[in-house]
Amino acid sequence: MDSISLAGLVVALAGIVGGLLIEGGKIKDVAQFTAALIVLGGTAGAVMVSTPLKTLKGAVGRFAGVFLDSSPDLGSVMEEVIGYASKARKQGLVSLEQAANEIEDPFLRKALNVAVDGADIQEIRSILELEIRIDEQEGEAEAKVFESAGGFAPTIGIIGAVLGLIQVMKSLANIDEVGQGIAVSFVATVYGVGSANLFFLPAASKIKARVHRQLQRKELILEGVVGIVEGLNPKLIRARLEAFTGETGMGEKDRPARRAVPAA
């Protein structure tokens, strides 16, 4: 469970509701099912119209990732790769063939199989970088689904407010109900702006962060397998892969490349 996401949502809601109560308002003033239906239903429909079905399914699948952290432990991935490097160093690259077929991680399994099959380093990079690039594009597209929802929701909220004002205009004969009706009509705007800025847009950012972490794992595997094919000492491979697990703040893609030059 990603506690920071839950805590952030609770803090945001507590701040908004707390401010409402301090100003003398009541929760029932903004608790309107019809406003929520207009905003959420309208936003969902707009997203469905603007998003291809495959991308929409992928985005729904990533929804749990906003509150559940399934990001890989790069340290354990590095140790696994170094373990294969040590075995290849002692017994030869072909010795990894059986072990590769038993690996659960599909990307690592594919990377080692390509290496065992005798592909040269350039071909290995080409094959694996293509998959990484496609995964990145798919992840970005799925995150943009939530960004789109964050753009649609405030506008749908305005539509809800206008619909509420239309109903208020029907009651002009009873002036006592007009003020209350106007106040109620703007709740849809609150729902639209609130859902966009408290959930949809932050969710898109969190999904992008998850995607980036997954790409780091694949880049780590790529650099590790290339090091195995090059026949590098496992200690040198570790030095290369530590760029992914370090916390220096430097670009992850640049650091392994710079370390690879003296290692070769």
- The string of pLDDT tens digits covering residues 193-244 is 999 999 999 999 999 988 998 999 999 999 999 999 888 888 998 988 888 8
Contact 214, 71 (CB under 8 A): yes
Six token digits for residue 219: 């880049």
Asked whether the predicted pLDDT for residue 112 surpasses 80, the reply is yes
Q: What is the mean pLDDT of the chain?
A: 84
Asked whether the predicted pLDDT for residue 153 surpasses 50, the reply is yes
Regarding whether 209 and 183 lie in a shared domain, the answer is yes
Mean pLDDT of 90-104: 85
d(CA 177, CA 163): 16
d(CA 131, CA 225): 15
pLDDT above 90: percentage of residues in the chain:
37
Regarding whether 227 and 197 lie in a shared domain, the answer is yes
d(CA 223, CA 242): 11
CA atoms within 13 A on the CB side of 189: 11
- Which three-class secondary structure string do you get for 81-114? HHHHHHHHHHHCHHHHHHHHHCCCCHHHHHHHHH
d(CA 135, CA 130): 9
Regarding whether 103 and 47 lie in a shared domain, the answer is yes
Mean pLDDT of 234-260: 62
Regarding whether 46 and 11 lie in a shared domain, the answer is no
Regarding whether 129 and 158 lie in a shared domain, the answer is yes
Regarding whether 143 and 20 lie in a shared domain, the answer is no
Instruction: Fill in the DSSP letter of residue 11.
Output: H
Regarding whether 4 and 107 lie in a shared domain, the answer is no
Contact 94, 102 (CB under 8 A): no
- Model confidence band, residue 186 (pLDDT cutoffs 50, 70, 90): confident
| Overall size of the chain counted in residues | 264
Lowest mean pLDDT among 45-49, 96-100, 189-193: 96-100
* Segments forming the whole domain that contains residue 15: 1-28
Phi-psi bin for 210: left (phi > 0), alpha (psi -120 to 50), beta? alpha
d(CA 85, CA 235): 9
Q: Cα torsion for 172, 177, 180, 185, to the nearest 10°? A: -50
Regarding whether 85 and 4 lie in a shared domain, the answer is no
Which pTM value belongs to this model? 0.78
SS3 state at 51: coil
pLDDT the model gives residue 180: 67
- Counting the structural domains of the chain, the total is 2
Asked whether the predicted pLDDT for residue 80 surpasses 50, the reply is yes
Regarding whether 200 and 152 lie in a shared domain, the answer is yes
pLDDT above 70: percentage of residues in the chain:
91
pLDDT the model gives residue 175: 67
